[in-house]
Amino acid sequence: MSTTPPEQPPPSQSGGHGGPGMGPNVNFNLNALMPTPGNAELVVYILAMILLAIIALASDAYNVNGWVTAFTAITVAYLISRGIAKASRVLEQ
């Protein structure tokens, strides 16, 4: 008596899935992700510039020259703070 084996289901084309109901096996290197654009310092910087512009427009004692001087000083401080923040994130080789 000859018997035929039962039909086997065709191999699935799961594309790297671990099995039914499982997602792909993805390994994220979270240390290598780029930081999201923007930061709290940028928000404070923009708000300070807007506040200084409003004061320069409304005040007789604080004029455009004072605004430009404050803008320059705050910009330098902002750039230095960002440089320090980025320098602390440098990965050692």
Of 45, 40, 49, nearest to 85 by C-alpha is 40
Report if residue 61 sits inside a domain. yes
Q: The whole model's pTM is what?
A: 0.47
Confidence of residue 22 (pLDDT cuts 50, 70, 90): low
The three-class DSSP label of residue 68 is helix
Report if residue 28 sits inside a domain. no
Report if residue 82 sits inside a domain. yes
End-to-end CA distance of the chain: 70
Report if residue 27 sits inside a domain. no
How far is 46 from 42, CA to CA, in rounded Å?
6
How far is 81 from 75, CA to CA, in rounded Å?
10
According to the model, what pLDDT value does residue 25 have? 63
Owning domain of residue 60: 35-87
Number of domains in the chain: 1
Report if residue 44 sits inside a domain. yes
How far is 67 from 53, CA to CA, in rounded Å?
7
Report if residue 62 sits inside a domain. yes
Report if residue 78 sits inside a domain. yes
Q: Which residues of 21-42 are buried (b: 16+ CB within 10 A; e: fewer)?
A: eeeeeeeeeeeeeeeeeeeeee
Q: What is the pLDDT of residues 26-79, one digit of tens each?
A: 666 555 555 556 677 778 888 888 998 888 888 888 888 888 898 899 889 888
Report if residue 6 sits inside a domain. no
